[in-house]
Amino acid sequence: MSGFPLFPYRQEKLPAYRIDTGDLQAIRKIKSALLNLLTLTLQPEAEQLIVLCIGTDRSTGDALGPITGSKLKKLRPRRTIVFGTLEEPVHAVNLAEIIGMIRTCHPSPYIIAVDACLGKTGSVGCVDIGAGPVLPGAGVSKTLPAVWDIHINGIVNVGGFLEYFVLQNTRLSLVVHMADTISRGLYFALQSLPQPESRQE
């Protein structure tokens, strides 16, 4: 299944960000990064903002997405539908079905995808934010549908060897802290967007 390249912006010219969630200014930096990307890529034709939080609570490291989704949903960002929570996770088994449902119900969505990934030792605790697809399941060598328009990848542990077990043995405190930081940064960015009637034609 193809992703959601709804608007033909040139992704190679768009900025990408790496933000350490241990930074005291991390929430502000995440908000700023997302607002910049949203300003550059969000078009009036997008009739629905969607945050798609991918992962499962059956694995500590992979729970970053659903924990973020649960926290963000409680904040109730305006004009936004949140998919993927602890109660209703979006994961490898149902991701294609959820994407199909989104495309059916919202023909012109704008999707921000959140997922966990593995990286180098010095990058653990950081989030990578950029335009284009997040490739869910890459940390455990799964091939799953790609989702667009902005990706937020949280680096929860060190990759390169026995990724499945590394995700299982990730510290919950780190994942919860990262989810809290990402959800609040997302919320403040979404709340800062202009209302549709005030957007320039």
Give yes or no for a contact between 148 and 5, defined as CB atoms under 8 angstroms apart. yes
As separate numbers, helices (DSSP H) first and strands (DSSP E) second, the chain gives: 5, 6
Give yes or no for a contact between 157 and 173, defined as CB atoms under 8 angstroms apart. no
For residue 127, list its beta bridge partners: 19, 154
pLDDT tens digits, residue range 105-125? 998 899 999 999 999 999 999
Task: Identify whether 196 is part of a domain.
Answer: no
> Can you give the residue range of the structural domain that contains 125?
20-191
Task: Identify whether 80 is part of a domain.
Answer: yes
Q: Confidence band (pLDDT; 50, 70, 90) for 135?
A: low
Task: Identify whether 118 is part of a domain.
Answer: yes
Task: Identify whether 201 is part of a domain.
Answer: no
- Mean of the per-residue pLDDT values for the chain? 86
- Give ∠ CA 83-32-150 in degrees, rounded to 5: 40
DSSP string across 98-123? HHHHHHHH-SSEEEEEEEEEEE-GGG
Task: Identify whether 130 is part of a domain.
Answer: yes
Neighbours of 8 (CB within 10 A): 6
pLDDT tens digits, residue range 9-68? 444 578 999 999 999 999 999 999 999 999 999 887 787 999 999 999 999 999 999 999
pLDDT tens digits, residue range 137-181? 545 555 666 767 999 999 999 987 777 788 888 999 999 999 999
Task: Identify whether 32 is part of a domain.
Answer: yes
Residues in the chain: 201
- Give the CA diameter of the chain: 51
Task: Identify whether 11 is part of a domain.
Answer: no
Q: Which of 128, 116, 3, 142 is nearest to 61 (CA)?
A: 116
Tally of domains in the chain: 1
Distance CA(177)–CA(142), nearest Å, equals: 26
Task: Identify whether 199 is part of a domain.
Answer: no
Q: At 124, which CATH number?
A: 3.40.50.1450
User: Locate tokens 């700023």: which residue?
Assistant: 32
Neighbours of 165 (CB within 10 A): 11
